[in-house]
Amino acid sequence: MKFNQARWTRETPEEGGEVYEPLLSEKSSRAVETDDAPLPDDLTRDGIELPDPAEPELARHYTRLSQMNYGVENGPFPLGSCTMKYNPSFTEDVAALPAAATHPDRSTDSIQGNLELRHRLAESLARIGGMDSVTLQPPAGAAGEFTGILVAKAYHEQNGNDRNEIIIPESAHGTNFASAALAGYEVVSLPSADDGRVGVDALRAATGDDTAALMLTNPNTLGLFERDIEEIADIVHDSGGLLYYDGANLNALLGRARPGDMGFDVMHYNVHKTFATPHGGGGPGAGPVGVVEELAPYLPTPQVSEVDSDGSDDASYERFEPEHSIGKVHGFAGNWLVLVKTYAYIARLGDPGLRDTSAKAVLNANYLARLIDYDIPFEPFHHEFVASADRDAADVAKRMLDYGVHPPTTKWPEIVDEALMTEPTEAESRAALDALASAFDRAAADDDEALETAPERTAARRIDQADAARNPRLSWHALDDE
């Protein structure tokens, strides 16, 4: 596969030569004063200076920028732990239905459609996770973690337990540590055992009266299933702690294993990963949180419940505040449009599609791993694996860009030397995986110079990130000041 990303360059009037597509402010900028405002002068500013493109110019600007951007529809995007699967187009259309465009302060009676969709989605997610109740309010995975930890904290407080530690395996996602800290907990970092999993002895030693919860990803970030999960759950529960499931890797288990059945008490779902809502260049996602019955009274407010339908065809729905609710984690009710897309995707798959999704995701990871000429120290992995680049993983990744694929997550988890954390997802065909494998191997075979000067076929060439951080220029004002 050969790849040349679209690359728009333009000469600048100043010395220095060329830029890629100029900034909007460099194309057309206007300073406008706030004359004749229907307000006293002392309540208004003097004016603003902003880009002023006509619509055709706007369209061309953003179209060119889009051409200098790589998405799932451009090619393979095996970014580990991010589940960059195909985002079905029809879900965009259902989210764009005019009837979905409502204000969050609508009365319950007037918004039965939204409440029904929310209720049904929460019910589906609860079944998929083996949980009893689900809140849809958290607007992202990390927000879900924060919510789940606040729920655990409220539960412990309600039960008179003053527990101040959260145990997190060293190889966990960075958000786990940050979310626990934001909720006011001390983080106890648990080293991985030699097999890449949680070591039950180390866990037993770390667990005690101070343990509020263990946060765990399963399969973990190496793609390994925590086979001792039941014993792990017992250790944590026996100490009085709760077990938190980070849903980032749920795609591996859809329809085959459920966190609730493994002993988890609280979990979040990353719908932008597992349930195919588009990642949007960084968001929005949504991070619904599921809990077992005992924790349901602590969920954020409001929750939606179905009202006894009195035998009529259309059930009705109401909003209520759970008895010991932690309050709110989003100013309104979360990322509604993302939730509509989630509902549509789950409905499209149903039981057979969900189960086939995990099958194909795991099949693809294993097939790709067999093809590439890299050491993969930890097995048996599921939907993702961590290969060792055996040279600078960042350089290898840059070279892979030239071969028309987005590279894996690099240099993480640190337990693997020069890690390439690879998650192809179910969306790649056998042919696409063959091409992806070829990109891996060609990059590995290239000489040092080729790697260090890569990429050479992308819109921009190798960017000096260290220099950008040393001399932060964060707006076009900062560029003008130079």
Partner 1 sequence: MSSDERADGNRGTPFAPHTAAETAAMLDAIGVESEDALFDIPQDIEFDGALGIEPRSERAIRKEISAMLDRNHDLTEFLGRGHYDHYVPSAVDHLADRSEFLTSYTQYQPEVAQGFLQALFEYQSMLVELTGLEVANCSMYDAASALGEAATLAIRVRATSGDRVLVPEHLHDGRRAVLDNYLAGTDAVVEAYPMDDGIVDHDGLADAVDEDCVMVYAENPTVRGTIEEGLGGIGDLADDHDALFCLGSDPVALSLLEEPASVGADVVIGDAALGLGAADGMGLGLFATREEFLRQVPGRLVGAGEDSEQKRAYTLTLQTREQHIRRERATSNICTNQAWVALRAAMHAAWLGPDGLIDLAKESVTRASEVADRLDGVNGVAAPVHDRHHFREVVARTDREASAVKEDLEAEGYAIHAIDDHLVQVCVTETNADRIDDLVAAVEAVA
Binding mask 115-154 for partner 1 (x = CB under 8 A): -xx------x--xx-x--------xxxxx-xx---x--x-
Q: Which member of 110, 158, 159, 309 binds partner 1 (CB under 8 A)?
A: 110
What is the number of other CB atoms lying within 10 angstroms of the CB of residue 382? 23
* Token output for 115: 């409440």
What is the number of other CB atoms lying within 10 angstroms of the CB of residue 65? 15
User: Residue 239 or 258: which CB sits closer to partner 1?
Assistant: 258
| Span near partner 1 by CB under 8 A; candidates 41-49, 288-296, 415-423, 439-447 | 41-49
C-alpha to C-alpha distance for 203 and 225, rounded to whole angstroms: 16
C-alpha to C-alpha distance for 49 and 64, rounded to whole angstroms: 24
Number of residues that bind partner 1 (CB under 8 A): 205
307 belongs to the binding site for partner 1 (CB under 8 A): no
- As a dihedral over the C-alpha atoms of residue 427, residue 428, residue 430, residue 431, rounded to 10 degrees, the angle is 140
320 belongs to the binding site for partner 1 (CB under 8 A): no
473 belongs to the binding site for partner 1 (CB under 8 A): yes
User: Residue 447 or 471: which CB sits closer to partner 1?
Assistant: 471
User: Which of 256, 262, 316 is CA-nearest to residue 290?
Assistant: 262
Q: Specify whether the CB–CB gap between 383 and 85 falls below 8 A.
A: no
| Span near partner 1 by CB under 8 A; candidates 198-206, 207-215, 290-298, 327-335 | 327-335
312 belongs to the binding site for partner 1 (CB under 8 A): no
372 belongs to the binding site for partner 1 (CB under 8 A): no
Smallest separation (angstroms) from partner 1 to the CB of 28: 8
213 belongs to the binding site for partner 1 (CB under 8 A): no
3-state secondary structure of 148: helix
Binding mask 389-428 for partner 1 (x = CB under 8 A): --------xx--x----xx-xx-x-------------xxx
Smallest separation (angstroms) from partner 1 to the CB of 358: 8
Residue 427 identity: A
CA 109 to chain CA centroid, Å, is 34
Smallest separation (angstroms) from partner 1 to the CB of 401: 5
460 belongs to the binding site for partner 1 (CB under 8 A): yes
Q: Which member of 156, 163, 272, 399 binds partner 1 (CB under 8 A)?
A: 272
List binders of partner 1 among 277-296 (CB under 8 A): 278-285, 287
377 belongs to the binding site for partner 1 (CB under 8 A): no
Smallest separation (angstroms) from partner 1 to the CB of 109: 7
User: Residue 445 or 460: which CB sits closer to partner 1?
Assistant: 460
251 belongs to the binding site for partner 1 (CB under 8 A): no
What is the number of other CB atoms lying within 10 angstroms of the CB of residue 392? 15
114 belongs to the binding site for partner 1 (CB under 8 A): yes
Pairing of strands 303-307, 289-291: unpaired
207 belongs to the binding site for partner 1 (CB under 8 A): no
User: Which of 425, 352, 443, 346 is CA-nearest to residue 383?
Assistant: 425
User: Residue 239 or 357: which CB sits closer to partner 1?
Assistant: 357
- CA 250 → CA 176, 262, 272, 400, 401, distances in Å? 16, 13, 12, 27, 27
User: Residue 98 or 160: which CB sits closer to partner 1?
Assistant: 98
Q: SS3 letters for 54-103?
A: CHHHHHHHHHHHHHCCCCCCCCCCCECCCCCCCCCHHHHHHHCCHHHCCC
Q: Which member of 1, 132, 187, 193 binds partner 1 (CB under 8 A)?
A: 187
Strand partners, 18: 11
350 belongs to the binding site for partner 1 (CB under 8 A): yes
| Span near partner 1 by CB under 8 A; candidates 56-64, 200-208, 385-393, 438-446 | 56-64
- CA 328 → CA 143, 301, 321, 331, 335, distances in Å? 11, 6, 10, 7, 14
Q: Which member of 193, 202, 371, 435 binds partner 1 (CB under 8 A)?
A: 371
43 belongs to the binding site for partner 1 (CB under 8 A): yes
156 belongs to the binding site for partner 1 (CB under 8 A): no
User: Residue 344 or 387: which CB sits closer to partner 1?
Assistant: 344
User: Which of 250, 216, 221, 207 is CA-nearest to residue 148?
Assistant: 216
* Token output for 453: 């000067």
474 belongs to the binding site for partner 1 (CB under 8 A): yes
List binders of partner 1 among 60-79 (CB under 8 A): 61-74, 77, 79
Residue 353 identity: G
User: Which of 103, 113, 72 is CA-nearest to residue 332?
Assistant: 103
- CA 179 → CA 76, 142, 216, 249, 436, distances in Å? 30, 7, 13, 18, 34
For the chain, the first-to-last Cα distance in angstroms comes to 42
Strand partners, 306: 317
C-alpha to C-alpha distance for 81 and 354, rounded to whole angstroms: 18
242 belongs to the binding site for partner 1 (CB under 8 A): no
297 belongs to the binding site for partner 1 (CB under 8 A): no
Smallest separation (angstroms) from partner 1 to the CB of 390: 20
List binders of partner 1 among 162-181 (CB under 8 A): 173-175, 177-181
Smallest separation (angstroms) from partner 1 to the CB of 388: 19
